[in-house]
Chains A and B, each alone.
Chain A
Amino acid sequence: MIVNLVVLLACQLAGEIAARGLGLPVPGPVIGMALLFAALIARPRLAQRIAPTTSALLGNLSLLFVPAGVGVVGHLDTLGRDGVALMAALLLSTVAAILAGVYVFLLVARLIGTPE
């Protein structure tokens, strides 16, 4: 458990250092994810070792967004009189983006004959 957390935190730390040091446009944790992915390919047995910790974290991923969500409630007035227009744009755009992604995925998968 502790060793597993150290693995995750060390990857995140290395990611933060890389993001800042190299001025990359991607957040440290995302680079940390890439680093852990590389480590798993190099040492496949690591996956089994850290799986209990990562499953527990990812199984409750929604919880981790609650504090930021509460922060948003206090700033809902920044939407101001544009609130309706902004909500309409968010809703329609999110639906459009999901459908575009799904159908392009299925189309290309069919074109190149990728089995399900």
Chain B
Amino acid sequence: MTPADPAEIWTYLRQDPLLWLTATLVAYALGDLAFRRSGRKPLVNPVLVAVALLAVLLRVTGTPYERYFDGAQFVHFMLGPATVALAVPLYANLKLIRSTVWPMLAALAAGSVTALVTAVAIGAAFGLRGETLLSLAPKSVTAPVALGVSETIGGAPNLTAVLVIITGITGAIVATPLLNLFRIRDWRARGLAVGVAAHGIGTARAFQVNETAGAFAGIGMGLNALLTALIAPLLAPWLVALLTG
């Protein structure tokens, strides 16, 4: 075999899933390193850093997202089994959960309705209308449910997908400083509220902070997916009509 020149190697690599799978893991490892080196500053969120690094890399190399995803899909796929795995911390915290069923359900209802109503109301106050406003309504819910809800109520699922991810990263960044500022020390309350407001990305962040918070965040995420799927189709169109009439 004759040695290939660098351009040929690159042509091969950029077609191969291996390169982009490796790049995803390296970018995340760098993001995690930056997070630790910063003294765990919430703004240096590992997901945010990794996404920024990869976005620049794709732009510089002129790689379309679809080709990147050929490699990254192996990481993306693990979201399903990881969601199932949330049952284990749930089970480990069963006693704690049993004793807090009513606070949990009340907080779920409050967080879920607040997320939906304030998003639509603030959007309307900033001059958003119609489809854009409806796309905002399910932004706190895990992506597959949010897309379905958005379509049902007349939003734009593409826009909702972007809003859901940004909401998750926002929640992961603001939760710890916000709750420390308000001197909230109850990990159950902290976790549940973050899971309801910022779905899986908020839950991932909660697991980094505290195991109990992570377990409650997982419950908050799961229950809010169910609740929003039920109430958004009733509440969102009515609210949008009321506010933008």
Chain A positions within 8 Å of B, measured between CB atoms, are: 5, 8-9, 11-12, 15, 25-30, 32-37, 39-41, 47, 50-51, 53-55, 57-59, 61-76, 78-79, 82, 84-109, 112, 114-116
- A102-B184, A105-B106 given as contacts; is B207 within 8 A of A26 (CB)? no
Min CB distance B132 to A, Å, is: 6
Q: Are A50 and B201 in contact (CB under 8 A)?
A: no
- What's the A-B contact tally at a CB cutoff of 8 Å? 318
Q: Which residues of B contact A93 (CB under 8 A)?
A: 114-115, 118-119, 122, 136, 139-140
Q: List 18 A-B contacts (CB under 8 A).
A: A26-B145, A28-B80, A32-B84, A35-B87, A36-B88, A50-B85, A57-B85, A62-B172, A68-B143, A70-B72, A72-B165, A76-B162, A89-B119, A98-B175, A101-B192, A105-B192, A109-B188, A114-B102
Q: Are B28 and A63 in contact (CB under 8 A)?
A: yes
B160-179 vs A, CB cutoff 8 Å, 1 = contact: the mask equals 01110111111110110011
Q: Which residues of B contact A26 (CB under 8 A)?
A: 145, 225-226, 229
Q: Chain B, interface size: which category?
A: 35 or more
* Minimal Cβ-Cβ distance residue in B for A30: B222
Q: Of B82, B88, B200, B203, which one neighbours A47 at CB under 8 angstroms? A: B88
Q: Which residues of B contact A58 (CB under 8 A)?
A: 82, 85-86, 88-89, 207, 214
